[in-house]
Structure 1
Amino acid sequence: MASSPHRVFAALLPVSSDSFGDENLVGRAGKQTAADLQVPPREVQVTGNAELSSPPDRAAVSISVSSSKDCVNDVKNSVSRRVEYILQTLRQHDVKEVDTVVTKDMQRLDDLYIMEADVRVVFSDFDKMQRVRAVLLEKLDKSVCVGAPQFTHSPECLSIMRRRVCVAAVENARLKASEVCGSLGQALGRPLLVREEECREWSGGGGDAAPTLHQRTGLVTLTVSARVFVTFELRPKDRCRKKL
């Protein structure tokens, strides 16, 4: 992604007495004037950018079972036995019930009963997911189809990435502002304004085209970028030293 153009603006205006503790600023009439009180703060304005990438942390596997019989009880028993074996395999590998969803559907075509079941499992442990798929592929017949894993990012992962990339962009803006202040012979003061201007997200593509698990997870790696606008107070270095 092409980086956004950097923007830096520094305002070097007269310092008001209110900013740095001068006690006796006298106007023409010997008193502090309204103009003195309205001197705007000296400030530096910068933008900061950051990017953060993360591989997927979830993999969903769909296991479908189908059977057709001329007796409704036979088709139910056929599908139920296979579904129960799948669920038993998941329990043996410590897969939580909350991560498993089972759906069933039955149709009748003339005198033939057709039943289908789908077991959808979400894994956060990819090694465990591979072991479960290997067992099911080895032990079950062609009436059971074990799908390829579909890799995704959980809402928790997305939320953490968005927060971290925004914080990183603010830190980059602070470092940039600090260098600008140094080149101007000034010191960086407190932040006056922080505004997130843009947050983008994109991934590398689908997760089924690559032959290996590592390559498939790489295809769906998510990247989040953020741009922030920050205004900092400018302080003369000599006055900052006096205060310390």
Structure 2
Amino acid sequence: MASDFKVMQDTEKEIQEAITLSSMDRQISVSGVAELTIAPDRYSITIKCNASKDTVQDAKNSVMRRTDYIVQSLQNSALKEEDYQLYKHVTHSDSLAHVHCEIEAHFTDIQKCQNIANFLSEKLGPGVSVTLPRCYHARGSMDKLRRQAGMLAIHNARQKALEMAKILHLSIGSVLKVQEIGITESQDTSKEDEGLLDTNDSIHQRIKEATISVSSKVNVCFQLKPAKSKRN
């Protein structure tokens, strides 16, 4: 019983230390913390095909048949022209002309990305190579998450202030000051720790490594007011 009383005293003491009271003003300053996590929302694959022929034109024609099929397949999957880029370059060696082609395609859905990658590998076989998806975030996604984390930290600070004021039979009023103490970002680094190679990454592992957590901490000062009396 005495132990419970001491804990209650310590709690009230901590709250009193957070509160500044004077004849002219009453205020409470509290910290709030929030953490949000965002998985990647963009995915890209690179499709490569090459041809080696006696003439440049023959090599181009060989590659063109496959690239036309690839582009048509991407369009059939509802990708627009701005969602993919095509790169070609020509080299010569041993009296042969080599044409190398890469198509980089970007998706908003990982399932669609995997489906088209598997489809092209099955249909074109060794004539093409398709990379595993690269997982990343759309422009603006991280800025939005940072703002959301900051807003949630302020909300959590307000909830804390409400509970502390209630114990002292007071209520909180206007916000007097908001200060961002810090914001941190972190993501999975297990691959680096284990020394694994990119070629050994599974799609699940790539998504995990691209998932980012944002933590925000703020300090908020509220005005304190007498609690409203309950009417009978």
Are 1:72 and 2:56 an aligned pair? Answer: yes
User: Counterpart of 1:10?
Assistant: 19
Q: Are 1:88 and 2:72 matched, yes or no?
A: yes
Task: Give yes or no for the alignment of 1:114 onto 2:104.
Answer: no
Determine which of 120, 129, 149 is the counterpart of 2:133.
149
Distance 2:167 2:175 in 1: 19
Q: Work out the percentage of aligned pairs sharing the same amino acid.
A: 34
Q: Secondary structure at the match of 1:128?
A: helix
| 1:3 aligned residue | none
Query: What amino acid is aligned across from residue 170 of structure 1 in structure 2?
Result: I
Give me the CA root mean square deviation.
Answer: 2.3
Deviation at 1:85, TM superposition (A): 0.8
Aligned equivalents of 2:218, 2:51: Cα separation in 1: 57
Q: How many residues align?
A: 209
Q: Distance in 1 between matches of 2:201 and 2:226?
A: 58
- Aligned pair 1:230/2:202, yes or no? no
Moved more, 153-162 or 43-52: 153-162
Distance change in 2, residues 1:209/1:172 (3 Å): farther
Structure 1 residues 209 and 177: CA distance shift in structure 2, 3 A: farther
Which structure 2 residues correspond to residues 92-103 of structure 1 after superposition, within 5 A?
A: 92-103=76-87
TM normalised by structure 1 equals 0.78
* Counterpart-to-counterpart distance in 2, 1:140 and 1:169: 52
- How far residue 183 of structure 1 moved from its aligned partner, in angstroms, is 2.3
Query: Which segments of structure 1 move beyond 3 Å, counting only runs of 4 or more?
Result: 205-211, 213-216
Tell me the amino acid that sits aligned with residue 57 of structure 2: N
Separation of aligned partners in 2, 1:146 and 1:113:
23
Q: How many angstroms apart in 2 are the aligned matches of 1:209 and 1:73?
A: 37
Higher gyration radius (CA): 1
Gaps of 5+ in 2: 1-13, 192-197
Following TM superposition, by how much is the alpha carbon of 1:160 offset from its aligned partner in structure 2, in angstroms? 2.3
The 3-state SS of whatever aligns with 2:143 is helix
Q: CA deviation at 1:68?
A: 1.7
Deviation at 1:61, TM superposition (A): 0.5
